Chains A and B, each alone.
Chain A
Amino acid sequence: MHFTLRIWRQKNAQDQGHFETYEVHDISPDASFLEMLDVLNERLLKEGKDPVAFDHDCREGICGSCGIFINGRAHGPLRNITTCRLYMRHFQDGETITIEPFRAKPFPVIKDLVVDRSALDRIIQRGGYISVNAGSAPDANAIPIPKPAADRAFDYATCIGCGACVAACKNASAMLFTAAKVSHLALLPQGQPERRERVKQMVMQMDMEGFGHCSNTGACAVECPAKIPLTAIAQLQRDYIWANLTPDPYTR
């Protein structure tokens, strides 16, 4: 197959950045999108040119490293998939493909298609965990958890932290990301002691990082490779309202 690629090139965070156009030929329809970029980069290297920088690692859709805005969509034209699991057979032969980095204020571009997503880690630092030290846990079966609760918590826990929800959202909101973690822990008995404070703190950090508000368009869930459902956001909302509206029963 043959493609015309319009790729965003930006030397570093300070650079203005611009589009450059490349032609790639003889691409196998079974090549993944990243492998197609590999082919382009091999050629650029041989020509002594700077290859296109992009994040990637596991290339099987679980590490959350890759993330490219392709033809107007986060992770490309398919739903619920990572860039590394997008294959060239999903494009038309001869098509022009527009390739941009994920864009959001909290995701500054590092180079070309690589952005800094550490803001997501800082949201987790505000409470996306259960405070337990190694060694202090009771027997694993000491607390039974209803299977449906465990299953549902699992659905929310599968977030891979790729940032596609932010990239797809018109307001660059990190609600689906934050809500996935809040909901995962809210559904488990282990998560209860810190539940009120967790949701307040994580929402505050989300705002401080410069992510936008959620307007329930649902674009995030369509692009989410982990298929985190929108009910996560409802859960966060519920917990947040509850935590702020009801008096904390433990304060004197």
Chain B
Amino acid sequence: MSDVLTAPSPITTSPLSWREAGLLEQNRCPSGDLEKRWTRHKDNLRLVAPHNKRKLEVIVVGAGLAGASAAATLGELGYRVKVFVYHNSPRRAHSIAAQGGINAAKNYRNDGDSIWRLFYDTIKGGDFRARESNVYRLAEVSVKIIDHCVAQGIPFAREYGGYLDTRSFGGAQLMRTFYARGQTGQQLLLGAYAALQRQVAQGNVQVFYNYDVLDIVVEEGKARGIIARNLITGELHRVAAHAVVLGTGGYGNAYYLSTNAKLSNATAIWRAHRRGAYFGNPSFVQIHPTCIPQSGDYQSKLTLMSESLRNDGRVWVPRTPGDKRPPQSIPESERWYYLEEWYPSFGNLVPRDIASRAAKRVCDMGYGVGPTGRAVYLDFSDAIKRWGREVIYQRYGNLFEMYEEITGESPWEVPMRIYPAVHYTMGGLWVDYNLMTTVEGLYAIGEANFSDHGANRLGASALMQGLADGYFILPYTIGDYLASQLFVKLSTDTTAFAETERQTQDRINRLLSAKGTHTVDEFHRELGKVLWDTCGLARNAQGLSQAYSEIRNLRERFWREVAVPGSGAEFNQNLEKALRVADFLELGELMVIDAYHREESCGCHLREEYQTEEGEALRNDDKYAYVAAWEWGGENEPPILHKEPLKFEFVKPSVRSYK
């Protein structure tokens, strides 16, 4: 392991580059009939006897849907579990903000849904960049998730007969989305949280509040523990375990502004990456078209508005760039309904990525509205005229209120202003079929791994994947590894622990001693802008290679000029932030390299060089039907690319068409 302390060399010489290794074929995916793979795989996993489970320690990092459900289930099985969260309670993770719902192939509607159809929709929605085996398994266990969550007392929406209600969602022609009003994520997370608290009460699980996991300890190629910082006292702790599970969510906050929670970060997965875990498809980031736009530089985050608004709202900008008149006084003939003009058949209802890219395009052309010029109008006046206020209120009342609360403008009087925003990362740590990373005994679950969504995630699938991993997949597969760890004596008095702790302490000391004049947020904002401009909605080789040097430059300046007052031995929120941004700066570089290397367009990843004349994504299945699994190349060394080929034995990759 190279010394973490070494500063990145000053902006240089090294242009964007990477090394290529061979194919990555060992992913433990079973073969044979797709429907029987998971069952057969489970039957072949090694087991741990109940009395032995008590002797095995597992660390779970993060308590979102994936982490909390995994920790609770492992506790139920009898393992000794330690959960680490940086929040003040395991109920605060950002899973709680998910609104729409959770998919499951229950076919309660009798509308012809099946595991196969959910599998197919997910694979296709991901633009054929995900593993068939994983996605099929996801669809298979989706059914059990709903059963379990109902048994936990989650108040899903119901019909008058008392049976579960479902609704339709983007990317599917079936009604398979279960929901609890607009707070499905909250209800599911609180269910997992409650299950976790039950295990805490029973003594199987310990939750460590206010602990930030700053590094993963790897001994002889195996994950052996973590270095965690007590956020209240600033102390570093060594914690050993037989296995480590990362359920730390996505890294959308690399962009500074996103719909993610402010504290969501990549530190645990990035440190794991530096310790040997490969990073899968880091540039696959989903951008949601309908968010409330940024209103000023002070703005700290973006808020998502349900996509359903586009059912009745019409998107437009003034025909004259820079037109500052209030929208109501712009006559109809001077309004440009660009979506309706560009996509006459789908109009305002084009899919997420198209709508997002179109908004960016008109704003780049100077037609954007609002104080920053980075917004377009979403106008309900026609719909209000056609359907009447009452109907529109029934459909969107709460969203209108939320919009008004945030912006101070009433969508009843003035059109909404919207703009796309980063909100989910399909990329993440590369994992095999057992959800294990390339570091033995280190697992990644939920949004933290790359596994199931390919290049684009369908709505209502994130909750499904987090809970599938946590309740029904990891608890089985981790046993296979733990069975081999029974006789391992845990100790934190090892050179690996000492060395990892020292490196963490050095990192903290360096940040504290920089004593620069720029705040962490200033660097973060700058990184976010570079990533958003070059590695956001549309990407091209030139922009990406320029971004690469800008990010390196920024990283070098960061370590020299950042201001982190106070000490490491106290509650220091700014230090926490600095450590996270330091990792985002390194991850940003890898995202840019990944986006640069993939010379095709697929799902969220639109390379401007590779699109049809109408601006549609142009996939290249011959060359790029693989998962890019990046290995850390060492400090200031280019990363190493491993390609995991994607074999499609059951579905035939086709062109997604919206015409």
Contact = CB atoms under 8 A, between A and B. Distances in A.
Q: Please determine whether chains A and B interact with each other in the same assembly.
A: yes
B89 interface: yes
A131 B194 CA distance: 9
Interface string B276-309: 0000000000000000000110111101000000
Contacts of A117: 88-89
B307 to A, nearest CB: 16
A116 interface: yes
Given A12-B571, A58-B261, A59-B262, A188 B155 contact: yes
Given A121-B197, A161-B89, A130 B152 contact: yes
A30 B300 CA distance: 12
A87 B408 contact: yes
A50 to B, nearest CB: 6
Contacts of B90: 121
B277 to A, nearest CB: 26
Contact of A114 (B164, B563, B571): B571
Contacts of A151: 155, 158
A141 B155 contact: no
Contacts of A111: 232, 570-571
A137 interface: yes
A190 B151 contact: yes
B31 to A, nearest CB: 26
Interface in A34-62: 34-36, 38-39, 41-42, 45-46, 48-51, 53, 55-60, 62
B187 interface: yes
B298 A38 contact: yes
Interface string A207-229: 00000000000000000000000
Interface in B111-162: 144, 146-162
A118 interface: yes
Most chain A beta-carbon contacts within 10 A, residue among B69, B93, B97, B298:
B298
B406 interface: yes
A249 interface: no
Interface residues of B, number: 80
Contacts of A129: 152-153, 194-195, 197-198
B519 A87 contact: no
Contacts of A143: 150
A114 B232 CA distance: 10
Chain A: interface size category: 35 or more
Contacts of B190: 157
A140 B197 contact: no
B97 A145 contact: no
Interface of B: 69, 72-73, 76, 87-94, 96-97, 106, 108, 144, 146-164, 180-181, 183, 186-187, 190, 193-195, 197-198, 200-201, 207, 209, 232, 261-263, 295-296, 298-301, 303, 405-408, 471-472, 475, 517, 519-521, 563, 565-566, 570-571, 573-574
Given A58-B96, A59-B303, 12 more contacts: A30-B296, A45-B519, A48-B563, A59-B261, A124-B193, A129-B197, A132-B195, A134-B148, A134-B471, A144-B161, A147-B160, A191-B153
28 contacts: A36-B298, A39-B298, A46-B563, A48-B565, A49-B565, A51-B565, A51-B573, A55-B88, A62-B183, A63-B92, A65-B87, A65-B88, A118-B89, A121-B91, A124-B197, A129-B198, A131-B198, A134-B69, A136-B151, A138-B147, A144-B162, A153-B153, A154-B155, A157-B154, A157-B187, A157-B190, A188-B153, A188-B155
Interface of A: 11-12, 27-32, 34-36, 38-39, 41-42, 45-46, 48-51, 53, 55-60, 62-65, 81, 85, 87, 89, 110-111, 114, 116-118, 120-121, 124-126, 128-141, 143-147, 150-151, 153-154, 157-158, 160-161, 184-185, 188, 190-191
